[in-house]
Amino acid sequence: MFAVIKTGGKQYKVSKDDVLTVETLAGAPGDLIQVGDVLMLGEDGQEPTVGAPMVDKAAVFAEVLDQTRGKKILVFKKERRQNHRRKIGHRQNLTVLRIEAISPTGEKPAFEAKAKVKVAKPKVEADVEDDGDAPVKAKAKTKAKAKAAAKPKAAAKAKSESKPKAAKSGGTAKAGAKKPAKSKE
C-alpha cells in the first residue's frame, strides 16, 4: 500500500518503512506523529483512491527518528556599482521520519519506539593498569599536565609586568617625535 502525503508545502509518495526527510515537524525522536493530509491512497492491483483535495479519514503514521538541520545554503546579494554586498548563510530545520503505518480509516497502529537514543560514551582517561587506584592516577596526571601548561603563561605575564615603563616628561615633545610640517603661505 502507498500514499501521497502533503507536508511542508511538498508532496511525498510513501509506503510502510520508508525513511524520508521533511520540513520540521513537532515531536521528539521516538515519538509517533500523524500526517493527516493524505492526497491519495493506493494498493497493488487496485484503483487508487484520490481525494478532493484530501482522502476522508485517511492518515499516515510516522516515527520521528531525528530532528536535524540541512546543508548550509549561501545567499549572496549584490547591488552593482553601489559597493553593496551581503553574504548570508541559511540552514533549514528538518525532521527525519520512518513511515510506520498507512491507515485508510485513520485508526492508530500499535507502536513501539525503534529510534536509537544517542548515549554518550565514557571517556578513557589514560592507559593505566587495572588497579583500584587507576582513576585516581589518571586524574592526578591530567591535573599535573594542566598545571604545567599554565606555568609558562603565568611566567610570561609576570615578565611583562616587571618591565620598567618610560618616564614621562612634562609638556615637552618626545625625543623621536616628528615636527609638524610647515604650511606654505
84 beta partners: 79
Q: Which three cell numbers stand for residue 15?
A: 509506503
Going by their DSSP bridges, the two strands 49-50 and 59-69 should be labelled as: unpaired
Cell 521516538 appears where?
Answer: 30
pLDDT, mean over the chain: 76
Q: Strand, coil or helix: what is 66?
A: strand
Q: How many residues does the chain have?
A: 185
pLDDT tens track for 68-103: 999 999 999 999 999 999 999 999 999 999 998 888
For the chain, what is the radius of gyration of the CA atoms?
34
pLDDT tens track for 115-128: 554 544 555 444 44
For the ranges 2-6, 60-64, 127-131, 132-136, which has the lowest average pLDDT?
127-131
44, 15 contact by CB (below 8 A): no
The Cβ-side half-sphere exposure at 18, using a 13 Å CA radius, reads: 17
Domains of the chain, residue spans: 2-103
Q: Residue 108: which pLDDT band, with cuts at 50, 70 and 90?
A: confident
